[in-house]
């Protein structure tokens, strides 16, 4: 594969609006069993994990197998990246062996460098800046509840302006739905990503969770201290007081509202047990949909679907 023809999925805007909708449609057909092709037959995905994972590892590994391919799990303990090999060298070597690379890491620049020096598609499994595959799964979950047209859906994000918030902004930028972000002062999303989204969608930012949730169709949150932020847990717990999604908070959302969480969840911290296990929760549909959207992304980038 020549450098000129390589497509990556580093962030949601790497795909056009129509490509995103086509990918979601393909994921839905895969989930329903309407799509039975095996476009990854004879192909291999290298999966680099500098952060541990449950959903990302299992969904990519199982998805690759279901599409006829093979996935290689490569942790930092197993490969030379963990001993200081430059990413540009790893990228060029792996590109000679495999057909695509997925990486789950801390620094966004690691991902960019991997894509810059590699000659095969690179997929963002997560960085501290962005989590695009998770948002694609969330969008599929929203479509399952409200229909394929996302333009009229109102999404509320309550919590840290983290990689999830940034990726919600990227999704709103491409797809045009209303997005409300509620976060404490000092926990703002990426300023450049925010401003880009403001030019294409109705983006509301507030420090009041009640303002974000009122009348929303989708209420979404995440843990207050993500992986790598454990030493900030006590400070964050104090700063995020009032940001817990409770049953009372959900009652202020729209009558058709659903609750999403990328998991793992800290019950009683950012969300109550009653909301997680309640009738509005779609967290396990959402988790399952990681498998289907990632299969669709791989089929598109690796298999020409």
C-alpha distances in Å from residue 49, one per residue of 79, 82, 124, 274:
10, 10, 11, 33
- Active site annotation includes 131: yes
Distance CA 32, CA 289 (A): 11
Strand partners, 3: none
**Catalytic one of 133, 262, 282, 294:** 262
* Nearest Cα residue to 189 out of 209, 207, 162: 162
* Nearest Cα residue to 297 out of 151, 140, 130: 140
**Catalytic one of 104, 280, 282, 292:** 104
Map 169-227 to HEC letters.
HHHHHHHCCEEEEECCCCCCCCHHHHHHHHCCCCEEEECCHHHHHCCCCEEEECCCCCC
- Active site annotation includes 222: yes
- Return all residues near 92 (Cβ < 8 A) that are at least 6 apart: 117, 118, 119
Distance CA 230, CA 157 (A): 22
**Catalytic one of 133, 174, 222, 294:** 222
- Active site annotation includes 290: yes
Distance CA 62, CA 44 (A): 12
**Catalytic one of 8, 55, 57, 131:** 131
**Catalytic one of 57, 174, 261, 290:** 290
- Active site annotation includes 70: no
**Catalytic one of 11, 108, 134, 294:** 134
Task: Please list the active-site residues.
Answer: 104, 131, 134, 222, 262, 290
């Amino acid at each position: 594969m020549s450098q000129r023809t390589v497509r990556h999925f580093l962030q949601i805007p790497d795909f056009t609006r129509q490509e995103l909708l086509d990918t979601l449609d393909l994921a839905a057909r895969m989930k329903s069993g309407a799509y039975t092709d095996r476009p990854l037959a004879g192909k291999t995905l290298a999966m680099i994990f500098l952060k541990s994972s449950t959903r990302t590892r299992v969904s990519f590994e199982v998805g690759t197998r279901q599409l006829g391919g093979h996935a290689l799990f490569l942790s930092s303990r197993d490969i030379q990246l963990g001993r200081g090999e430059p990413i540009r060298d790893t990228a060029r070597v792996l590109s000679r062996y495999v057909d695509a690379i997925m990486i789950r890491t801390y620094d966004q620049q690691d991902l960019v460098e991997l894509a810059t020096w590699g000659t095969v598609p690179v997929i963002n499994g997560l960085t501290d800046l962005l989590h695009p595959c998770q948002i694609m799964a969330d969008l599929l979950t929203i479509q399952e509840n409200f229909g394929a047209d996302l333009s009229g859906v109102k999404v509320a994000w309550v919590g840290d302006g983290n990689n999830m918030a940034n990726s919600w902004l990227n999704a709103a930028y491409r797809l045009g739905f209303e997005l409300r972000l509620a976060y404490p002062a000092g926990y703002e999303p990426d300023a450049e990503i925010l401003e880009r989204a403001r030019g294409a969608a109705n983006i509301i930012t507030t420090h009041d969770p009640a303002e974000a949730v009122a009348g929303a169709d989708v209420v979404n949150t995440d843990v207050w201290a993500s992986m790598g932020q454990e030493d900030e847990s006590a400070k964050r717990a104090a700063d995020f007081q009032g940001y817990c999604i409770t049953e009372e908070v959900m009652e202020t959302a729209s009558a058709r509202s659903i609750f999403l969480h990328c998991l793992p969840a800290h019950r009683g911290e950012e969300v109550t047990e009653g909301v997680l296990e309640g009738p509005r929760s779609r967290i396990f549909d959402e988790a399952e949909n990681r498998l289907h959207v990632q299969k669709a992304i791989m089929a598109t980038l690796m298999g020409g679907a």
